[in-house]
A and B are shown apart, each in its own frame.
Chain A
Amino acid sequence: MINSRYYCYLIFLTMLSNVMVLVPNILLQHRFDGALTSSLLAVPISMAFIYLFTKSIARFPSLTLPEILVKSFPNWFRFVVTLPLIIIWFWAGSLPLLAFTTITKGFLNPEMSEYLILGIYLFFVSYVACMDHKKVMYTVEAILFFVAPIILFILCRSIFEKNFSWESVNDIITHIENRPDYDSLSAATYIFTGYVNMIIFNKSVKSRLNVWYWILIPLVGTAILLTSFLIPVGLLGRYAVTDFVFPWVTATDTLRLEYFFLERVMLVFIMLYLFLVLLHSAVVWHVGVGLFKSLWKNKQKTKRYDFGIIILFCMGVLVMRKYLSDVYMGQALSAWFIRIRFVVEAVLVGTLLLAARRQTKA
C-alpha cells in the first residue's frame, strides 16, 4: 500500500489535464447562461461525491471495484456494472487523445499524418497502461512534479497579462444569477472526477485522505475551474471566445514571454499539456484494462492479457478517428460523453455506498 497522496494526484491530474480539452468548450458555450453558477454548484456536489466515495471504498481496503461487487452483490450484477464502465473508461481515455491529435496537427506538426501522431501517443499510453499499479502512480508523480509548476506559472502569467480584459470577465460574472443547467454542471463536475480511478487503484493506494487534502482539493478545484473558464474569456473577449475551435490554445497564443529565449507561450503550453493528457489517458486506460480483466476469472493474469486488451483499445481509437471526420463531430461526441458520464458517476458512487452499507450490516 502506498501513501494516500497518490490518491490526490489522481484528482489533480484529471483537474489539470481537462483545463484545456473537453471541459472549457462546453462551459464557454453556456457562458451567458448557467456556466458560472453551475461551476460554483459543481464544487459542493463533487466534494459530496468524493466524500461518499472515499468513505465507502475505505471499507474495502486493497480491493478493486469488481472484487467489491463480487463480495456484496450477486454475480450477474458484476457484469451489469463493469461493462458500461469499461466503455466509459475507454471513452474517457480516447476522447482527449483524439482532441489532442487534432491540436498537435493544427499547431505543432501540420505536415504529419494524424494517424502517425495518434500512433506515437498510443505507444506511450499503452506502455504506461500496462505497468503495475504502483509504477503507474510513480510515473504520475514524477511527471506532475516537473510539469505542474510550469503550468501554474503560465496560468499565473496569463492572469497578469496586461491585455487581459477584466471587463469581459466581470460581464460573465454578472450572469451568476442564471439558473444552472445540466450540461455545464456535468462539464464542471468532470474536473473533479479523477477520484473514480480509485476503483482499480484502491488495490495498492491508501484511500484515506487527511484534513489538508480535504481543504486543498476544493480550493484547487475551484481555482482550476474558474481558470479554465474565465482565462480564455479574459484573453479572447467575451463574444469572440467561442469563435475558436480550441479557445485555450488560441488564448495562450496571445501571451508572449518578453525576456526569454522562447517567445510564444502556446508551444510550451501545448507541450506541457501533451504530458498531462497522455498521462491522464494512460491512467484511465490502466483502469479500463483492470476492469476488462476482471470480466473473466482467470488465475493467471499475465502481461499478455494486458497487451491484448490495450491493442483492442488502440484499434478502437483508430476506428473512432476514422469515423470522426471533423473536429465538431469529436466535440459533439465529447459533449455526449460528459453528459452520460455524470449519470454513470452518480450511479457508481451509489453502488459503492450500497455495497459499503451491506458490508457494515454483514
Chain B
Amino acid sequence: MADFIMNDQLKQSLHNLLQSDDVEYREMSSDNKHAIIIYVRTVCDSEIIREFVVKPFWEIESESQYTQFIQSFPESSELTDQAGVVKKLLQGYVAIFLANQAFLLDAKKIETSSVETTAVETTVNGPQDKFNENLLISINQLRHRYKRESLRVELKRIGTYSQTNLAIVYDEQIVRKEVLQELKQRLSQVQPLEIQGVAEIAKLLNNQKWSLVPTMLMTERPDRTAKKIAVGKIVLLLDGTSFVLIVPATFSEFYVSMDDEYQLRTVAYFLIVLRYIGLAVTMLLPPLYIATVSYNPEFFRVQLAFSIAASRAAVPYPSFVEVTFMLLMMEFLTEASIRVPKAVGPTATTVGGLILGEAATQAGLVSQIMIIIVAACAIANFVIPVSTMSLAARLFKYPLILFATLFGMLGVVVGTAWFIAYLCNLDSFGTPYFKFFRKADQA
C-alpha cells in the first residue's frame, strides 16, 4: 500500500492533524486500485475534490491512467517533501496517496464574494474582512490567518431545538488546559432550547447572573481572533452569526482596537490612554457634576463655581433631576439611532439634536454646562472599541450617580473604589479580570 510513501514522522503529524474534526481522511478502493485522500474540509473546495479526485477514481479503469489524469492538472504536483505535507494540507491542498505515488492537488477554497467588511469594529489600516455567518467559511477565514498544525477545531451541537453548530477552536500546544476543561464542563452543563447569537452562550457560561461587565470578548474580526489564538485563548464560533467569542478575556483587552496593532507603538499607547480617559469621563463626569453642584461647590475655583451656578440659575430643580433627565434623553437618542430603520435615521438625530441642543437650555430645563457634560459623556462612551464593553460602560455611570445623589463627593469616591474592587473581584475562567502588570507576573 501507500506505507512506503508515508514514513513514521509523516504518519505522526497526520495523526496529530486528524484530531481536528474538520480534517477528512477517506480511503477508496476498487478492484484494482486503492487511494487515500486527506484534506481539511474547511479550507478546501469539496466541489473540486468531488469532480476531479473522487469521480474520476471510479470512472478511470487502471491506476496508471488515474495517475496520469491527476498529473495532468497544472495545480497538481508529486508529493516529494514529506515534511511539508501538513503545511500544504492546511493551505488548502488535498493529498492523494496511491499505491506507489502520492500527489498534492490544489483545491483551495477562498470565499471572497460572501465575506463582508467589518461593520462594528472598524479600523483605518488593518484588514477589513469580518467573519461570515456560515460557520465553515468563518473557520476557513481563520485557517487562512493561522496555519499551524496544532490548531484544533472541535465541532459540537448546542440547543435542543435549534441544534446549532458550534466550533471550539484553539491551538492545542499553547492553550491552557484547565481553561479548556472548565469551558467544556460549563458548556456541557448548559442545555438551552435554542441559541441564535454567540452572546447568548456568553450569558449562559457566565457564573454571575447580574454582571456589570462582559467577561468574554465578542468580536467579528478574524485578525483579532487569530492573534488571541496565538496567545493561547479559546474561540467559540457559532453557525449563523458573524461574531465569535474569545475566552478568557481581561478588562484591558476590551480597550484595545485592532488599529493599535497596525499603528506606531507610540500612537497605539496614546490611543489606549485616550480610551481609558474616555471611560473615566463617561463614568465620572455626571456623578461629579451632581456632587459638586449639590454638595461641594467649593471644590472648584470660585470663578468656575460662579459660572456653573449662573448657568443653572434658571433651572428649578436639584442637579440630580437635571442629570437624570438629560441622560435619559441621551440614552433615548442613542438607542433610537441604533434601532431606527435607515430611511428615517436622520429624523431621530435632527429632532434629538434640537431638543438636546438649544431648546432644553432656552426652556430653562437644564443648564448649558449640563449639555456639554452629556455630550462629552456620550461621545467618550463610544471611544471604547469593543461594542459589548462600550454598551456596558453606558451603564456604569448610573450606580455612581445614585451614590453621588445620596452622598455627594463621598459617594463618588466610595462608588469608584467599589467599582475597582468589583472589577478586581471578577475572573474570567480562572484568569483575574482586572490586574496590573500581568506580563511581569508571567515572567
A residues bordering B, Cβ < 8 Å?
2-3, 104, 108-109, 112, 116-117, 120-121, 123-124, 127-128, 131-132, 134-135, 138-139, 141-143, 145-146, 260-264, 267, 271, 274-275, 278-279
The reply to whether B432 and A124 contact each other, CB–CB distance below 8 Å, is: no
- One digit per residue, 1 when the CB lies within 8 angstroms of any chain A CB and 0 when it does not, for chain B 290-325 equals 000001101111101000000000000000000000
Asked whether any CB of chain A lies closer than 8 Å to the CB of B410, the reply is yes
Q: 0/1 per residue, B409-443, Cβ < 8 Å to A?
A: 11101100110111111000000101111001100
> Which 9 residue pairs across A and B have the least CB separation, nearest first?
A263-B301, A138-B424, A139-B424, A139-B421, A274-B413, A135-B425, A128-B421, A142-B420, A271-B413
- What secondary structure prevails in chain A residues at the interface with B? helix
> Contacting A264 at CB < 8 Å: which of B295, B299, B425, B440?
B299
Contact B410 A104 (CB under 8 A): yes
Q: Judge if B66 is at the interface, Cβ distance under 8 Å.
A: no
Instruction: Report Cα–Cα, A146/B301, bound state, in Å.
Output: 23
Chain B facing A: main interface SS: helix
Q: Is the CB of A131 within 8 A of B421?
A: yes
Known: A117-B410, A261-B300, A271-B413. 16 other contacts (CB 8 A): A2-B441, A109-B409, A120-B411, A120-B414, A124-B418, A131-B425, A138-B432, A138-B435, A139-B424, A142-B424, A146-B420, A261-B301, A263-B301, A271-B409, A274-B410, A278-B417
Contact of B418 among A109, A127, A267 (CB under 8 A): A127
- Which A residues lie within 8 Å of B299 (CB)? 262, 264, 267
Write out the residue numbers on chain A whose beta carbons fall within 8 Å of the beta carbon of B425.
131-132, 135, 139
The contact sample of 24 A-B pairs, CB cut-off 8 A, is A3-B441, A108-B295, A108-B296, A108-B408, A109-B408, A117-B410, A121-B414, A124-B417, A124-B418, A124-B421, A127-B421, A128-B421, A135-B424, A138-B432, A139-B425, A142-B420, A142-B435, A142-B436, A260-B301, A261-B304, A267-B298, A271-B409, A278-B414, A279-B417
Inter-chain contacts of A279 with B (CB < 8 A): 417
- Alpha-carbon distance A308/B437, docked complex (angstroms): 34
Q: B407 contacts the other chain (Cβ, under 8 Å)?
A: yes
B417 contacts A262, C-beta separation under 8 Å: no
Docked pose: A271 CA to B287 CA in angstroms: 15
Contact of A123 among B414, B423, B441 (CB under 8 A): B414
How many whole Å from A250's CB to the nearest CB in chain B?
15
CB distance from B148 to the nearest CB of A (A): 31
With A108-B408, A142-B436 as contacts: A262 and B424 at CB distance below 8 Å: no
Give the docked Cα–Cα distance between A195 and B302 (Å): 43
Residues of B within 8 A of A264 (CB): 298-299
Residues of A within 8 A of B403 (CB): 120
CA distance A264 to B302 in the complex (A): 10
Residue of B nearest to A258 (CB): B301
A116: which B residues are within 8 A, CB to CB? 407
Once A127-B418, A135-B425 are accepted as A-B contacts, the answer to whether A267 and B296 lie under 8 Å apart by CB is yes
Q: What is the minimal beta-carbon distance from A238 to any residue of chain B, in angstroms?
A: 29
Contacts of B295 in A (CB 8 A): 108-109
The residues of A that contact B411 with a CB separation of less than 8 Å are 120
- In whole angstroms, what is the CA distance A117 to B295 when docked? 14
| Cβ contact within 8 Å between A143 and B420 | yes
Within 8 A of A (CB), among B365-380: none
Given the interface pairs A120-B407, A120-B410, A262-B301, the reply to whether A143 lies near B435 with Cβ below 8 Å is no
In the docked arrangement, what's the CA distance between A123 and B421, Å? 12
Complex Cα–Cα for A108 and B414 (A): 13
| Residues on the A chain within 8 Å of B437, using CB | 141
- Contact yes or no, A263 B300, CB < 8 A: yes
> Closest CB of chain A to B441's CB: distance in Å?
6
Chain B positions within 8 Å of A260 at CB level: 301
Chain B contacts with A in 103-138, Cβ cutoff 8 A: none
Is A275 touching B413 in the complex (CB atoms < 8 A)? yes
Distance in angstroms between the alpha carbons of A17 and B337 in the assembled complex: 47
Least CB distance, B371 to chain A, in whole angstroms: 18
What is the distance, in angstroms, from A79's C-beta to the closest C-beta of chain B?
Answer: 32
Tell me, rounded to whole Å, the shortest Cβ–Cβ distance linking A270 to chain B: 9
B272 CB → nearest A CB, Å: 15
Complex interface: chain B residues within 8 A of A278 (CB): 414, 417
B433 to chain A, nearest CB (A): 9
Rounded to whole Å, the gap between the CB of A93 and the closest CB of chain B is: 15
Contacts A2-B441, A138-B432; is A275 near B408 (CB within 8 Å)?
no
Select which of A3, A143, A261 is within 8 A of B417 by beta carbon: A143
Q: With CB as the reference atom, state the residue of chain A lying closest to B441.
A: A3
Residues of B within 8 A of A261 (CB): 300-301, 304
CB pair A109–B410 under 8 Å, yes or no, is yes
Within 8 Å CB of A2, what residues of B? 441
Pairwise interchain contact A134-B417, C-beta atoms closer than 8 A: no
